């Protein structure tokens, strides 16, 4: 939010256009928090920029058409766009890998191969998203109602409602493909060690499924505590 305010929300909207997003986006600051509706196809297409080293290819439904004998009858030639530098795209992949390793997307670790992605949950649980990718495939899942007044239900977050659908699809789509690492992506902890980072706002935001803080119980009189420990003995 503070970054969007600093560079100007119009600049943020301009960047989304480079990612192929044509949906009208209201130019106000909550946009940085996801306060706008988008089509799933555009959302997934935008995410392909990260595993493709900053390159975006226009979505197309049919790659090629061949005859029964294999002769090429028709082939798509989608437009290719430079969106980001390879370095920035790889840093984004490193960040989104952390979501699956340690964040709200940990369920995707059961895919058993390198993956990156992001959960999304709108206010009052009316929409649940998960957009994720491996080096071979990018895909997304959205769960919600056409009527924005209807909630999916309490705690129906992107991690709980959408991610399992994405996971089931990817398990089938990637069957038979060898696991691949993201090429030239430096782990985030290594990047952090190599760059000086100045943070002026502490990250205190709760995760999607984090329970509310519990109140401290009233102080009780001190009690005697007995502890014991066992020291492992060396093998004979």
Q: What is the pLDDT of residues 62-87, one digit of tens each?
A: 999 999 999 999 999 999 999 999 99
Domain for residue 175, yes or no?
yes
Token readout for 200 is: 């002026």
Residue 107: inside a domain, yes or no?
yes
What pTM does this model have? 0.79
Three-state SS at 173: helix
d(CA 105, CA 96): 9
Per mean pLDDT, which range of 33-37, 91-95, 135-139 is the poorest? Answer: 33-37
Is 49 a member of any domain?
Answer: no
Task: Please give the pLDDT value at position 199.
Answer: 55
Rounded CA-CA distance 104/108 in Å is 9
> Is 187 domain-assigned?
yes
Model confidence pLDDT, tens digit, residues 146-163: 898 999 999 999 999 999
pLDDT band at 108 (very low <50, low <70, confident <90, very high): very high
Q: How confident is the model at residue 105 (pLDDT cuts 50, 70, 90)?
A: very high
* Range of the structural domain that residue 183 is part of: 84-194
Is 89 inside any structural domain? yes
Taking the CA atoms of 173, 165, 117 and 210 in sequence, report the sign of the dihedral they define.
negative
Domain membership flag for residue 154: yes
pLDDT band for position 223 (cuts 50, 70, 90): very low
Distance CA 236, CA 219 (A): 48
Residue 1 is predicted with a pLDDT of 86
Total domains in the fold of the chain: 1
Decide: 54 and 32 in contact? Cβ < 8 Å: no
The reply to whether 42 falls in a domain is no
Alpha-carbon span 101 to 118, nearest angstrom: 11
Task: Please state the rounded mean pLDDT for residues 178-182.
Answer: 96
For tokens 């239900």, name the residue: 153
Residue 14 lies inside a defined structural domain of this protein: no
- Residue 74: φ, ψ to 5°: -155, 145
């Amino acid at each position: 939010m503070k970054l969007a305010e600093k560079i100007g929300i119009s600049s943020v909207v301009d960047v989304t256009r480079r990612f192929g997003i044509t949906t009208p986006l209201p130019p106000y600051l909550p946009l940085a928090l996801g306060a706008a509706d988008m089509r799933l196809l555009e959302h997934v297409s935008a995410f392909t920029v990260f595993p493709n080293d900053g390159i975006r290819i226009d979505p197309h439904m049919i790659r090629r058409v061949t005859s029964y004998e294999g002769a090429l009858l028709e082939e798509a030639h989608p437009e290719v766009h430079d969106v980001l530098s390879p370095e920035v795209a790889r840093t984004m992949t490193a960040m989104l890998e952390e979501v699956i390793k340690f964040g709200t997307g940990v369920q995707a670790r059961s895919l058993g191969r390198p993956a990156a992605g992001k959960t999304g949950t709108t206010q009052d649980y009316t929409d649940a998203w998960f957009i994720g990718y491996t080096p071979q495939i990018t895909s997304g899942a959205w769960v919600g109602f056409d009527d924005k007044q209807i909630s999916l239900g309490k705690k129906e977050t992107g991690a709980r409602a959408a991610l399992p659908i994405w996971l089931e699809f990817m398990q089938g789509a990637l069957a038979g493909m060898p696991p691949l690492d993201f090429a030239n992506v430096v782990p985030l902890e290594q990047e952090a060690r190599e760059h000086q980072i100045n943070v002026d706002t502490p990250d205190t935001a709760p995760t999607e499924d984090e329970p509310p803080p519990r109140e401290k119980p009233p102080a009780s009189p001190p009690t005697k505590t007995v502890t014991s420990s066992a020291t492992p003995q060396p093998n004979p």
